[in-house]
């Protein structure tokens, strides 16, 4: 996580609006079938213009610390697109977005917004994600940009679960792309306690999850749902 002057406000907003939900006693079943005490849906934040602006300003602050001036802002489809758009408008930069795969019709583009160029021509690209979990979708987007001759040294996201899988996925990239997030799981927990969102006795159970996310559910009596 890259702490910014907006991180605390965005964290409170995310908890207040339900973009981040914590429920250790009644965990959420993720698409993977694992039961987890947290669910993140940053799309909820789209309904608040102040939240969208704060997120873009936090990204600008991170870019300033990195001393990185991208020539193109790329959003992951679909949840990264609106935040990439707000940031691109703020910085007055070109915008592209990355599909999970190429279209099966028309021009069969995977990257939209490049026009006739069909590639980045060696330009510096900043990838915007909404969430980093296991890192698979982010890594696919990074590789698509690199395949289109883009230089993408950073991926900025609103939130990260901080899983080892996500860290390992990014560490495996060559050329490297460093993920940086406005918020992460361990940053959220004390704010949730401070604001009364969770009870003090729930904090230990929630912090335990970050040490071993994929065994936490079964340890507490919730077996993985098999598809």
Please state, in angstroms and rounded to a whole number, the distance separating the CA atoms of residues 210 and 99.
Answer: 30
Q: What is the reported pTM?
A: 0.94
**What local confidence, expressed as pLDDT, does residue 118 receive?**
80
**What local confidence, expressed as pLDDT, does residue 37 receive?**
97
Cβ 217 vs Cβ 223: under 8 Å: yes
Read off the pLDDT of residues 41-79 as tens digits, 9 standing for 90 and up. 999 999 999 999 999 999 999 999 999 999 999 999 999
Domain chopping of the chain, boundaries? 7-219
Grade residue 107 by pLDDT with cuts at 50, 70 and 90.
Answer: very low
Cα 95 to chain centroid distance, Å, stands at 18
Grade residue 174 by pLDDT with cuts at 50, 70 and 90.
Answer: very high
Whether the pLDDT of residue 108 is over 70: the answer is no
Cβ 139 vs Cβ 171: under 8 Å: no
Whether the pLDDT of residue 227 is over 90: the answer is no
- Which fold, 7-219? Rossmann fold (3.40.50)
Please state, in angstroms and rounded to a whole number, the distance separating the CA atoms of residues 130 and 80.
Answer: 5
Please state, in angstroms and rounded to a whole number, the distance separating the CA atoms of residues 136 and 134.
Answer: 6
- Judge residue 126's burial from the number of C-beta atoms within 10 Å of its C-beta, 0-12 exposed, 13-18 middle, 19 or more buried: buried
Grade residue 136 by pLDDT with cuts at 50, 70 and 90.
Answer: very high
């Amino acid at each position: 996580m890259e702490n910014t002057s907006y991180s605390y406000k965005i964290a409170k907003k995310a908890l207040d609006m339900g973009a981040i939900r914590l429920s250790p006693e009644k965990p959420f079943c993720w698409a993977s079938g694992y039961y987890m005490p947290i669910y993140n849906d940053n799309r909820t934040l789209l309904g608040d213009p102040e939240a969208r602006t704060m997120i873009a300003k936090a990204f600008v602050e991170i870019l300033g610390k990195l001393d990185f001036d991208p020539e193109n802002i790329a959003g992951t489809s679909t949840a990264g697109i609106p935040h990439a758009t707000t940031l691109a408008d703020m910085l007055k930069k070109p915008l592209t977005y990355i599909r999970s795969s190429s279209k099966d019709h028309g021009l069969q583009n995977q990257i939209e917004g490049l026009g006739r160029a069909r590639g980045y021509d060696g330009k510096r690209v900043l990838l915007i994600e909404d969430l980093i979990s296991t890192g698979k979708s982010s890594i696919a987007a990074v590789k698509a940009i690199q395949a289109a001759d883009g230089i993408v040294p950073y991926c900025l996201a609103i939130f990260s679960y901080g899983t080892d899988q996500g860290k390992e996925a990014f560490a495996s990239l060559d050329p490297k792309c460093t993920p940086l997030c406005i918020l992460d799981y361990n940053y959220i927990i004390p704010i949730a306690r401070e604001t009364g969102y969770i009870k003090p006795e729930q904090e230990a159970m929630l912090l335990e999850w970050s040490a071993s996310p994929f065994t936490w559910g079964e340890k507490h009596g919730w077996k993985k749902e098999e598809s």
